[in-house]
Amino acid sequence: MAIEPHTPDAGGEARAEAHPWDELAKAENPPSAFACAHTRDWPGYFKAVAGKEPRETLVKALKFFDEPGFAIDLGCGEGRDTMELLRRGWRVLAIDGHKMAVDLTAHHPRLPSDVGDRLEIRRAEMETVELPPCDLLNASFSLPFCRPAEFEALWDRIHASIRPGGKFAGQLFGDRDTWASLPDRSHQSRREVGRLFRGRYTLEHFDEVERDGEDARGNAKHWHVFHVVAHRCPDGSWSCADPVS
Ligand SMILES: C[S@@+](CC[C@H](N)C(=O)[O-])C[C@H]1O[C@@H](n2cnc3c(N)ncnc32)[C@H](O)[C@@H]1O
């Protein structure tokens, strides 16, 4: 397992490092994962989802593969999806911008004992990180947090990194979601989501979920989320026309 870049905090090398999962357990209980994601309170979010099972979109995507390959887990959080990929024998590049995410993933309780060199963890911003060629790019609930001005370029880099025949799994947040009005978020209309995949992917799973709800603080929240598993077609393929109408 490789973690890079290795940039300890000032004085960090002299201190005995506390185990990140012990520190997380001691932290105050957050209101909910949704409230934390709203405010980008990532440590609170990690605590709220700690130890949860892999995302359904990842599990659905993995059913389409006969054998393990190489995956990028973009915005890996505390590592729930990365652990599932490793458990199934995949090689994984796990990327997250938050130091705690990197530490929690590196010390995850479900980290397989035979991980060897199958896991590389990189602390980096999705807007700038290099995305090498992969069989699966998994981005669970992370893409809405890309800086809006850089989303199109990120999407092009995601597309370029997925090998023809490979897959995308993850979520895009819709334009009618309450958080769409936050200036630092990247949300798409159904039409825009269609444009992202048109001519390049066939959709193996596409679920647009829209509902009213509340977060744990009782704040009203309208959810508008696209759950997607998409197969990247060979370039110029005629079978990839207009997947979202
Ligand atoms: C809602 S969490 C999702 C985490 C995990 N994939 C899951 O499904 O639980 C979003 C994650 O994206 C990361 N993130 C947010 N903005 C980022 C950015 N610009 N670059 C890299 N990671 C970012 C956060 O640190 C957080 O771990």
pLDDT at 61: 98
Instruction: Give, in words, the CATH class of 54-240.
Output: alpha beta
pLDDT-derived band at 34 (thresholds 50, 70, 90) equals confident
Instruction: Quote the DSSP letter at residue 145.
Output: G
Residue among 107, 127, 119, 130 nearest 46 (CA): 107
pTM here is: 0.92
Going from N- to C-terminal start, the domains of the chain cover 54-240
Q: By alpha-carbon position, which residue is closest to atom 16 of ligand 1?
A: 145
pLDDT-derived band at 238 (thresholds 50, 70, 90) equals low
Residues in the ligand 1 pocket, defined by CB under 6 Å = 37, 42, 45, 49, 55, 75-77, 80-81, 96-98, 101, 125-127, 140-142, 145-146
| DSSP conformation letters of 186-238 | -EE-HHHHHHHHTTTEEEEEEEEEEEEEE-TT--EEEEEEEEEEEEEPPTT-G
Q: By alpha-carbon position, which residue is closest to atom 13 of ligand 1?
A: 75
231: its two tokens = 């197969």
Question: 10 Å Cβ neighbour count for 125?
Answer: 13
Q: Express each pLDDT in 10-33 by its tens digit.
A: 344 445 678 999 989 888 888 888
CA 237 – ligand 1 centroid, Å: 32
CA 146 – ligand 1 centroid, Å: 9
Task: Say whether pLDDT at 138 is over 50.
Answer: yes
Cβ atoms of residues 121 and 94 within 8 Å: yes
Task: Say whether pLDDT at 165 is over 80.
Answer: yes
Residue among 57, 66, 109, 108 nearest 90 (CA): 66
| DSSP conformation letters of 74-113 | ET-TTSHHHHHHHHTT-EEEEEES-HHHHHHHHT-TT--T
pLDDT at 219: 73
Q: Express each pLDDT in 107-118 by its tens digit.
A: 999 999 999 999
